Structure 1
């Protein structure tokens, strides 16, 4: 791959995840300024799950059959720029929700499209893709650092002045740039030029891999994946708001420690996977989910700040050791014909069903403890974080009991 092409793909990845990180991390905090209830907050975050569920239809019915991937990417981001600007102008949860729903339905397919554009230009994706994808992580980190240390929009004073809404304006501008830039990306025509070759709904959603659930271990893994996404949703929905309300300065910037940890743990994963096996790798990921929420429950922004920072830093193990190793395991269990369908099934189960349930559970728990918040913010967050810690612990025990140890042939 020549340097110009590498630069284009890297810039595409940088903007893709800069856009997402520029507004999604602080979304929970922003919704609190709109006086959103727990369930209203859950409905907003659930738009990500609805987008993940609908995305295969957009990719399968349009992108894979009719138009170049880079053109669809450009159009989706141009429309997304308009919707993001409408979010910037919204001043109530009622006006905010329709725009964020529309935006996430359009944005989630772009995550697959940027991968498609990248893979189609590579002769050796196994070696080349990670060097391109790392710029996405850098984009997310730059967004968080900019919010905290450049613009300082997540400070208590700035939030009180309504400055946090500027995150949507930045995301809108970046989306506009990526939308225009996409048309300069390499041409990526549909793989299937015969439009009579129609994908079925089951193929789009990865349901062709449903037969894999006859394997007890794979069934246990899929159920565990859905359940572990419930505590995961608590982190996405409330971590930034929690850190801000307990008084941590530059909370958004400090949350980028999680992305740095994620990048480092990707390097450690193959070693741990090979030495300790799939089951132990997954169990460590689950254990760290429970541990991070206990650290959040009993830490504070004073003498116990190290507990909060350590909880953030655990993100790499929490995410990589469960989700990435799970993708490797899924690939090993699926036959040649079902590899894509199996990955689609896991994506639907986690980002679709699992997180959809998780966001609503998190919203319900928040409303359940709402009265405590009026008396003690610290006590409110302590009670809230105990819930996902318990859920993660229970899922870990169930997986430990019901999943029988096995070797993953393509890794070990």
Structure 2
């Protein structure tokens, strides 16, 4: 009964953890575009990657040495949630400034991004204290994080705030709720004096020694290249789909009116595709699985460029379906590859380096690069049809980029011991 109780409490924690993110991550771009800040969308998504380069490591050191992880988790959510509510309040002023909005948002995500790792630490520690197998117990708990993400995506759409700053109020409110809830979670002791991670280890800097090995150097470089794709659709898919509303023939379509619900199928696909990874790794090996992920990104972008919310909505649906393969086969399989190929003494640092290359450097470059492309081909146009043509061209360019990365990876990355055991 005790183990079931622990699992339930951690499930609630994971649900709330990702519900906070789902409230705005895929719809924030639409709000910014409607508020007149379309050419700054990429900055909002890029800053998530920038703060992810150092804030999770710094908060990890604090949790190791001074403040128990569950307490720090609550403190970070209190700060992040309060700042989200401040962002919402400021957005209601007569003429909100982009620089002020961006500054408040940056502070909020600076405290939110570390909670992704802190919540995992709380879950791992609590499950170990309860004598439970992490490999068996954690994945079903983590799935409810994605469920929470999907639920708030759909909620902000159904209550009509995916195009308004109301999404920040929902995110902030859930954040404060989790801040309180975290204080009731099982105690996570700090490390004994002298045993906590140092900054070099927490940032994953020890793992840079892996760049001396050609195979690992190529893997991390291509992880960065593929990481470029990670945030593009989060930032720009909603503004793209909703832009069809300017054409009368599409104005009343489901996709235009509820773009977030349509996009939420991507997260549903992500949840289901996780189950395919063990089979795929055993059957094909890491190189082919990574190539499948890269080709799935090609299709993800190409289907968006080809589709529309009317007769072509089936292409949008296909784009949402392949997202699960694109995201999971890269992120999860890549993490497993790092775990398998690195020495246990630097394994944590290597995982940190993988996150830096993908969600840090790669995603930041991708957000800024995508913004430059879309500003040039879309936001520079004044005619609605020219803008839609610009959107399609932008998606094709992103697809071409992913295809080039896939070809180079296929040619350059050589790995013989290529079957998961």
TM-score (norm 2): 0.91
Q: Distance in 1 between matches of 2:187 and 2:380?
A: 56
* Alpha-carbon contact 1:278-1:406 (below 8 Å) kept: no
Shift of 1:5: 1.5
What SS class does the counterpart of residue 120 from structure 1 fall into?
helix
Please say if 1:97 is aligned against 2:96: no
Matches within 5 A, 1:5-404: 5-38=6-39, 40-91=40-91, 92=96, 93-122=98-127, 123-149=132-158, 151-154=159-162, 159=163, 164-190=164-190, 192-194=191-193, 196-197=194-195, 199-247=197-245, 248=255, 249-369=257-377, 370-372=379-381, 374-376=383-385, 377-404=387-414
What SS class does the counterpart of residue 383 from structure 2 fall into?
helix
Q: Distance in 1 between matches of 2:90 and 2:306?
A: 36
1:200–1:6 Cα change, 3 Å: closer
Q: Distance in 1 between matches of 2:208 and 2:332?
A: 20
Shift of 1:121: 1.6
Q: Distance in 1 between matches of 2:382 and 2:225?
A: 27
Structure 1 unmatched runs, 5+: none
What SS class does the counterpart of residue 174 from structure 1 fall into?
helix
* Alpha-carbon contact 1:285-1:319 (below 8 Å) kept: yes
What SS class does the counterpart of residue 160 from structure 2 fall into?
coil
Shift of 1:198: 5.9
Q: Distance in 1 between matches of 2:156 and 2:403?
A: 34
Q: Distance in 2 between matches of 1:100 and 1:285?
A: 31
Q: Distance in 1 between matches of 2:315 and 2:180?
A: 43
Shift of 1:199: 3.8
Shift of 1:72: 0.5
How many corresponding residue pairs? Answer: 399
* Alpha-carbon contact 1:373-1:379 (below 8 Å) kept: no
Shift of 1:221: 1.3
**RMSD value, Cα:** 1.5
Shift of 1:257: 0.9
Q: Distance in 1 between matches of 2:214 and 2:367?
A: 28
What SS class does the counterpart of residue 189 from structure 1 fall into?
coil
* Alpha-carbon contact 1:242-1:381 (below 8 Å) kept: yes
* Alpha-carbon contact 1:75-1:179 (below 8 Å) kept: yes
What SS class does the counterpart of residue 66 from structure 2 fall into?
coil
- 1:266-288 Cα shifts (integer Å, max 9, x gaps): 11111011001111110010001
Q: Distance in 2 between matches of 1:9 and 1:203?
A: 27
Shift of 1:60: 3.6
What SS class does the counterpart of residue 53 from structure 2 fall into?
helix
What SS class does the counterpart of residue 229 from structure 2 fall into?
helix
My pick for the range that moved more, 67-76 or 361-370, is 361-370
* Alpha-carbon contact 2:80-2:112 (below 8 Å) kept: yes
- 1:307-349 Cα shifts (integer Å, max 9, x gaps): 0111012111000111110001011111111110110000011
What SS class does the counterpart of residue 23 from structure 1 fall into?
coil
* Alpha-carbon contact 2:227-2:357 (below 8 Å) kept: no
* Alpha-carbon contact 2:301-2:395 (below 8 Å) kept: yes
TM-score (norm 1): 0.93
Q: Distance in 2 between matches of 1:373 and 1:342?
A: 47
Shift of 1:37: 4.1
